[in-house]
Structure 1
Amino acid sequence: MRHTVDYFFAPQSPWAYLGHERFAALVRETGSAVRVMPMDLGKIFPLSGGLPLPKRAPQRQAYRLLELRRFSNALGIPLNPEPRFFPVAGDPAARLITAVAMHDGADAAMKLTGAVTTAVWAQERDIASMDMLATLLSECELEAARLAQSQQPDVQARYDEQTQAAIDASVFGAPSYVIEGELFWGQDRLDFVARKLRA
């Protein structure tokens, strides 16, 4: 049975970055389909009891940094827990990934997602900058026109639909993977995702 995964994430999420390449490899290995669905966490947090990072208790903020270092070391994935360009607006990159998914398909959108998340967490690059997004498109060998297209109403409408789909699926954090209605939250649940996709 060929599974389809709804892949919900925010491009500024360090956890999406830590899980992305492992998830991409798993999708390739199992021949699964993926729907690349960046979402607006700013709309999801108020509905799910989540808080933006600056509003979280100091203990939670400190533990987050500890866990980022732990996972970076354990996975052998380079990560700066406090990068130069963070917090950063994720919407421009999310819309660009959405535009690429619409015009070029899931594989291209997965490639760009990897580049965008790496830009934040390993390369000290500003993904809210239009110039940087143009550079990332070029590095991924994708059409430069996608940047202008990402600012069109049809892409915003799709982004809004993806956010609503996340809400409807009871998603409350990033990354989340939904397979046949079953929700898996967090890159540390990819072992369970693997079991599901290999079943």
Structure 2
Amino acid sequence: MAQIDYYFATLSPFTYLAGARLEEIAAKHSATINYKPLDIMALFGRTGGTPPKDRHRSRIEYRAQDLLRQSKNLGMDFNLQPAHWPTNMAPSSYAVIAAVKGGSGDVGKLVQAFLRACWAEEKDIAQDDVIRDCLSQAGFDPSLADSGLLVGAETYAANLEEAVDRGVFGAPFYITEDDQRFWGQDSLNDLDRHLTEMKG
């Protein structure tokens, strides 16, 4: 069975715009997704990137135009300046890690719920009630928000180190088992095509 290592940030607008397409591609190819939330701001610092607020004006302006174009093309609700961005990514990331390790719901839906809460619903995904609601939406016990915090912190940090070692520099980022790397939601068609070629 094919494996896709999925590196993402629960605050990334481009990860939000990926929607459920990764999960649809994985289902099409009977592939397993390994969800690996990480601290995108720390990743930028480790791999030569620059946090959005510190970028040159031309890059900030282009990013804004591109996000609005992409969200319109995809038919997704999108707020370019959400009320709670940036916020602490760790609590929602820990919840994803706990869900992967011990839950019975849909991890893809959980990730999408956090991203939608930030970019379309004006919610603060660092808040406990928002985290619990997202867990419930995805079929998980909301009490997962209270579990495995130490393991969550350790895994979150380990995901960052692993990402740096494997050539990840942004989010969303997808790596197949033959080490083909795909960056950005706009590379999902390339990932789909590659998985088809792997089978053929």
> How far 1:165 sits from its partner (Å)?
1.4
1:20 alignment partner, SS class: coil
> How far 1:11 sits from its partner (Å)?
0.5
Letter in 2 for 1:176: F
Q: How much is the aligned-residue C-alpha RMSD, in angstroms?
A: 1.4
Letter in 1 for 2:70: F
Is 1:165 equivalent to 2:162 in the alignment?
A: yes
Distance 1:24 1:136 in 2: 18
Is 1:186 equivalent to 2:184 in the alignment?
A: yes
Residue in 2 aligned with 1:97?
96
Distance 1:136 1:194 in 2: 28
Map 1:96-135 onto structure 2 (within 5 A): 96-104=95-103, 108-135=106-133
Of all paired residues, the percent bearing the same amino acid is 31
Q: TM-score, normalised by structure 2?
A: 0.93
Residue in 2 aligned with 1:57?
56
Residue in 2 aligned with 1:23?
22
> How far 1:20 sits from its partner (Å)?
3.2
Distance 2:4 2:138 in 1: 23
The question of whether the paired residues in 1 share the 8 Å contact of 2:7 and 2:173 is answered with: yes
Distance 2:83 2:143 in 1: 28
> How far 1:52 sits from its partner (Å)?
1.2
The question of whether the paired residues in 1 share the 8 Å contact of 2:107 and 2:138 is answered with: no
The question of whether the paired residues in 1 share the 8 Å contact of 2:117 and 2:125 is answered with: yes
- Gaps of at least 5 residues in structure 1 are none
Residue in 2 aligned with 1:143?
141
The question of whether the paired residues in 2 share the 8 Å contact of 1:169 and 1:183 is answered with: no
Q: Per-residue displacement from partner, 1:81-139 (whole Å, max 9, x unpaired)?
A: 1112112221111111111111126x622120011111111111110111211121222
The question of whether the paired residues in 1 share the 8 Å contact of 2:78 and 2:120 is answered with: yes
Distance 2:147 2:165 in 1: 27
Distance 2:51 2:90 in 1: 15
Letter in 2 for 1:132: V
The question of whether the paired residues in 2 share the 8 Å contact of 1:85 and 1:125 is answered with: yes
The question of whether the paired residues in 2 share the 8 Å contact of 1:72 and 1:78 is answered with: yes
Letter in 2 for 1:187: Q
Distance 2:23 2:119 in 1: 18
The aligned length equals 196
The question of whether the paired residues in 2 share the 8 Å contact of 1:98 and 1:109 is answered with: no
1:112 alignment partner, SS class: helix
Q: TM-score, normalised by structure 1?
A: 0.93
The question of whether the paired residues in 2 share the 8 Å contact of 1:4 and 1:179 is answered with: yes
Distance 1:94 1:37 in 2: 9
